[in-house]
Amino acid sequence: MSIHELDWKRIDLLIQLALEEDLGKNGDITTNSVIPADLKAKAIFLCKDDLVCAGLPVAERLFKTLSDEIVFKPLVKEGDLCRKGDLLAEMYGPARALLTGERTALNFIQRLCGVATASHRYQQAAGDKAWILDTRKTTPGWRNLEKYAVSVGGAHNHRIGLFDRVMIKDNHRELAGLEGPGGIIRSVERARKAYPGFEVEVEVDSLEELEEAIQSKAEYILLDNMSNEQMKQAVQMVAGRSKLEASGNVTLPRVSSIAETGVDYISSGALTHSVKSADISMDIVLN
């Protein structure tokens, strides 16, 4: 499985915005008034949860934005399963830079570890019967990072945006239907004519709509909010002619039973829109 590539141009912009948000016009007035400018210190990232590690390169980038004297040493790899009490990384350098970057760095890695951990749990529940996919329900501006964390956790990326796959959803269908019956077939034909190099996915809400989607010869069909029994029927109806994606009301306890229906993919916005950030602390080490 490939890991989603980090877009450092976007990440540098996010880091800059996050630091500006925290430092304002006056900078870190507490640290700058209390900590001597020439003091060096060592710090560690400590797991306070079981988690899947994701985001250490981002934390390193942030600290080095504050001071190129900081030495950042990862102690685990991206995607590693880490237990409560494990150390993720250690940092050494100017104490002011370490303290100033602490909260912002933690905000990044706690969020990304949370996404990676949820993605791991969902894919583990599906086993090798279906791929778990993410969605476009991402934090604005964070899509590259969150999709990276999904892939680090062992799940898979769906389309990245509106630009890399034609996906005819319910509102597209409704508007296409104003022209009369056959809206799905008509929409797929228009998409293939306008963007011949792209795969097409069609969302359906019923087995009746599925019949038309099959006729359209779309590469992918999304089964929206269907029961497990309906999905089993859909698998039989499609008979391998299109890849099937289950979506809607996908919860972790339900993933295993959905995978048993025979669908190829299970997508869940929960991987990115409602995960709990991992509990990680940054502690100064005195020795």
Residues labelled as active-site residues: 103, 137, 169, 203, 224
CB 221 within 8 A of CB 204: yes
Element (H, E) at 281: strand 280-285
Residue with tokens 């900590």: 35
**What does the CA dihedral 49, 55, 61, 64 come to, rounded to 10 degrees?**
10
**Cβ contact 94:225 at 8 Å:** no
Concatenated DSSP letters of 26-86: T--HHHHHHS-TT-EEEEEEEESS-EE---HHHHHHHHHHH-TT-EEEESS-TT-EE-TT-
CA–CA dist 162, 151 (Å, integer):
19
